[in-house]
């Protein structure tokens, strides 16, 4: 166990003191009964307004449906064709880019609300009015705008990559994120018919995270049908294994740990692209043993890093870059066409003709060229063995010489013999 872990292991943030921590929100002050009543009135009014909006939208949709049917009949197309033209949209959306308006709002909120207690902070509408009345934010240069946007980018990265400050915040983060993942997996199962299993366990005995599992459709039956154990047993074993690791972020990203990750990612991708489960990676003869033999190639290797075995990479920064590229799929395996393989083979032949060693020969054994000989037993050991054998043989012969014939269990008397003769 490291010195950092001996100091304090109560929270994930304490086990990672060198990483930035997400500031926890202070709970708002308790509201009075009058404030509760006022909020209830506002909530009821909002519910009524929502109902009115829903009713208006429903009436609009009914009218739209009737109009679409008439259009479909008039133009001899299906109603679905017109619906697709009107409401075509994709289910997948990229992350929104940081806009200048949001960047200025973030900067103004940081300036005005950093020292304000909870409940007295300025609202978004008030902050926007401040921005409009601020002459410095209305006459910005190109570099100043880029600076505000970069600050917003950094703030968003902090919320994603920094560690939670206490166990309660960490447990809530896990709960909310897991709910999103479960919903996405269920929706994916409905859209595509895929099966998925999710295990989420805590990484330390002091964490208050509730371990959970989820399987789409009847995925739970897989564990009992194949392994004869319920899914909950695997969750418990997974949690026990995770707690025994007892590692913080620095220890998980050590040189040897990341080397192991990179080796597994490369071999896993090679097995997937070739379909051969027993295939192994060959870095020394990569051009001949991998590209030329299996018609596959690893593209996107990070520039500035030699293509060698991860076990021979000695710097943490380089192995991190390779690991990140493999996980982000910017470095990946791809199949080659017959024409590309033919071109590659022609280039190798040209290099061979120029005298270049394309395929590195295997290292010869030190006893190559000599016939294998059995190892002669040592004289002392052989003599002792012969002595032991001879003594055992002599003892056996001695026992045979002195062996007394066994007597019968019953001796027949002379009277009994006479009766038998009669």
pLDDT 10s digits, 355-376: 777 776 666 666 666 776 665 5
Residues 6+ apart with CB under 8 A from 1: 246
Q: What is the mean pLDDT of residues 329-346?
A: 92
pLDDT category of residue 226 using cuts at 50, 70 and 90: very high
The pTM assigned to this predicted structure is 0.52
Residue 299 has pLDDT above 50, yes or no: yes
* 8 Å CB contact between 71 and 82: yes
**Percent of the chain, pLDDT > 70?**
81
Q: What is the mean pLDDT of residues 71-86?
A: 81
pLDDT category of residue 211 using cuts at 50, 70 and 90: very high
> Does residue 395 or residue 87 have the better pLDDT?
87
Q: Hey, is 358 helix, strand or coil?
A: coil
CB atoms within 10 A of CB 296: 18
Q: What is the mean pLDDT of residues 340-348?
A: 90
Least confident of 121-135, 156-170, 274-288: 156-170
Residue 305 has pLDDT above 60, yes or no: yes
Spell out the alpha helix ranges (H) of 279-356: 293-294, 316-327, 338-353
pLDDT category of residue 183 using cuts at 50, 70 and 90: very high
| Dist. CA 257–CA 253, nearest whole Å | 6
> Which tokens is 351 given?
């290099």
> Which tokens is 92 given?
């997948």
Question: Which H or E run contains 109?
Answer: helix 100-113
Residues 6+ apart with CB under 8 A from 325: 300, 301, 302, 331
Question: Which H or E run contains 63?
Answer: helix 33-75
| Dist. CA 115–CA 122, nearest whole Å | 11
> Which tokens is 129 given?
């009015």
| Dist. CA 354–CA 74, nearest whole Å | 74
Q: What's the half-sphere exposure (Cβ side, CA atoms, 13 Å) at 283?
A: 11
Q: What is the mean pLDDT of residues 319-336?
A: 92
Angle 288-275-320 (CA atoms, 0-180°, nearest 5)?
Answer: 70
Residue 1 has pLDDT above 50, yes or no: no
Q: C-alpha 380: how far from its chain's center? A: 60
| Dist. CA 77–CA 84, nearest whole Å | 12
* 8 Å CB contact between 198 and 181: yes
| Dist. CA 399–CA 393, nearest whole Å | 10
| Dist. CA 159–CA 156, nearest whole Å | 5
Least confident of 9-18, 289-298, 303-312: 9-18
> Does residue 14 or residue 421 have the better pLDDT?
14
Token match 């008030």: residue? 126
Query: Residue 421: phi, psi to the nearest 5?
Result: -70, -30
| Dist. CA 411–CA 419, nearest whole Å | 15
> Which tokens is 199 given?
């295990």
Q: Hey, is 332 helix, strand or coil?
A: strand
As beta bridge partners, residue 200 has 212
| Mean pLDDT over the full length of the chain | 82
DSSP class of residue 59? H
Token match 């005005």: residue? 112
């Amino acid at each position: 166990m490291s010195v950092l872990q001996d100091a304090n292991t109560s929270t994930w943030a304490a086990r990672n003191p060198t990483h930035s921590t997400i500031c926890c929100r202070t709970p708002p002050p308790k509201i009075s009964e009058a404030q509760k009543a006022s909020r209830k009135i506002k909530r009821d009014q909002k519910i009524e307004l929502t109902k009115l909006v829903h009713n208006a939208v429903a009436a609009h949709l009914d009218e739209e449906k009737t109009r679409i049917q008439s259009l479909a009949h008039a133009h001899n197309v299906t109603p679905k064709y017109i619906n697709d033209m009107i409401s075509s949209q994709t289910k997948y959306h990229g992350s929104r880019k940081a806009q200048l308006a949001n960047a200025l709002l973030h900067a103004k909120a940081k300036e005005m609300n950093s020292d304000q207690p909870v409940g007295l902070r300025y609202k978004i509408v008030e902050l926007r009015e401040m921005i409009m009345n601020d002459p410095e934010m209305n006459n910005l240069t190109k570099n100043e705008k880029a600076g505000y946007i970069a600050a917003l980018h950094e703030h968003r990265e902090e919320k994603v990559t920094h560690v939670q400050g206490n166990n309660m915040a960490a447990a809530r983060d896990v709960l909310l994120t897991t709910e999103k993942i479960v919903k996405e997996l269920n929706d994916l199962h409905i859209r595509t018919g895929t099966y998925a299993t999710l295990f989420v366990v805590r990484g330390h005995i002091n964490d208050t995270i509730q371990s959970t599992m989820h399987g789409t459709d009847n995925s739970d039956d897989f564990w009992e049908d194949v392994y004869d154990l319920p899914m909950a047993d695997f969750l418990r074993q997974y949690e026990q294994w995770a707690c025994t690791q007892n590692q913080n972020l620095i220890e998980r990203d050590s040189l040897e740990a990341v080397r192991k990750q990179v080796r597994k990612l490369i071999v896993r991708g090679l097995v997937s692209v070739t379909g051969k489960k027993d295939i192994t990676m060959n870095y020394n003869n990569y051009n001949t043993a991998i590209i030329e033999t299996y018609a596959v190639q690893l593209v996107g290797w990070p520039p500035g890093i030699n293509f060698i075995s991860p076990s021979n990479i000695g710097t943490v920064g380089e192995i991190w870059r390779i690991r990140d590229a493999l996980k982000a799929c910017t470095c990946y395996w791809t199949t080659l066409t017959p024409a590309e393989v033919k071109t590659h083979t022609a280039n190798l032949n040209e290099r061979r003709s120029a005298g270049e060693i394309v395929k590195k020969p295997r290292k010869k054994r030190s006893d190559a060229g000599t016939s294998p000989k059995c190892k002669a037993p040592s004289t002392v050991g052989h003599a002792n063995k012969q002595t032991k054998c001879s003594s055992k043989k002599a003892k056996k012969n001695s026992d045979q010489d002195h062996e007394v014939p066994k007597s019968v269990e019953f001796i027949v008397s002379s009277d009994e013999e006479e009766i038998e003769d009669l």
